[in-house]
């Protein structure tokens, strides 16, 4: 099974995936971002499908098809999203149906969307966490594979809380990816 990671952020989750000795065949990014340096340092091919349009006319299907074309050319079977900044649409989820994983920095179904950490803080919950799930067309709504709870401390701000959540994601996500890949190997 050839795994690709999709990322747009700092690359710390990607780093955790390779530190866990998971074979990553390629990383795909949609913009200039910190992850590119991390990927280059790891010696894994970095594919760039640049998103140039962030306006209301953004052609999401076309962009999703371009992502599929790049991943198919790299012979990818399974995709792990790790802070990817573009919501992909049907052409992507049809091409990789049931084979896309995501990690979300909140306990889904609570606090889905881009600001899961901020929204949990604002809501005043005392416990939040992270969720690894199968990604589907509906954002942050696919079947849940693993979760971990994290206590919100009185002096937490978004940055401190997100960093604590990420330190858990860096264990939970690689472990869940490994199990998912192993299960896929046994059932195919
Ligand atoms: C993680 O918290 C992930 O759940 C979210 O984006 C963050 C990625 O972190 N979707 P990094 O850019 O790899 O440090």
Over residues 2-26, the pLDDT tens digits come to 999 999 999 999 999 999 999 999 9
* Model pTM score: 0.95
What is the pLDDT at residue 42? 92
Question: Which of 7, 30, 103, 108 has most ligand 1 atoms within 8 Å of CB, for mutation?
Answer: 103
What is the pLDDT at residue 102? 98
What is the pLDDT at residue 187? 85
Give the span between the Cα atoms of 17 and 26, in whole angstroms: 12
**Residue 14 alpha carbon, nearest atom of ligand 1:** 13
CB of 9 within 6 A of ligand 1: the answer is: yes
What is the pLDDT at residue 48? 97
Give pLDDT < 50 ranges for the chain.
none
What is the pLDDT at residue 21? 98
What is the pLDDT at residue 30? 98
* 3-state helix/strand/coil string of the chain: CCEEEECCCCCHHHHHHHHCCCCCCEEEECCCCCHHHHHHHHCCCEEECCCCCCCCCCCHHHHHHHHHHHHHHCCCCEEEECCCCCCCCHHHHHHCCCCEEEEECCCCCCCCCCCHHHHHHHHCCCEEEEEEEECCCCCCCCCEEEEEEEECCCCCCHHHHHHHHHHHHHHHHHHHHHHHHHHHHHCC
Question: Which of 6, 16, 83 has most ligand 1 atoms within 8 Å of CB, for mutation?
Answer: 83
């Amino acid at each position: 099974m050839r795994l690709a990671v999709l990322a747009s952020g700092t690359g710390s989750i990607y780093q955790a995936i390779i530190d866990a000795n998971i074979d990553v065949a390629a990383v795909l990014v949609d913009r200039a971002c910190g992850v590119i340096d991390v990927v280059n340092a790891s010696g894994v091919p970095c594919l760039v499908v640049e998103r140039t349009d962030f306006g209301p006319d953004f052609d999401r299907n076309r962009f999703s098809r371009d992502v599929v074309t790049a991943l198919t050319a790299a012979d990818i079977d399974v995709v792990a999203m790790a802070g990817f900044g573009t919501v992909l649409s049907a052409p992507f989820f049809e091409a990789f149906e049931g084979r896309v994983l995501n990690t979300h920095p909140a306990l889904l179904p609570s606090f889905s969307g881009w600001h899961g950490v901020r929204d949990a803080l604002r809501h005043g919950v005392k416990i939040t966490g992270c969720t690894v799930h199968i990604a589907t067309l509906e954002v942050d709504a696919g079947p849940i594979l693993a979760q971990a709870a994290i206590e919100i401390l009185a002096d937490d701000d978004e940055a401190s809380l997100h960093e604590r959540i990420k330190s858990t994601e860096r264990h939970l996500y690689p472990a869940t990816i490994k199990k998912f890949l192993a299960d896929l190997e046994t059932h195919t």
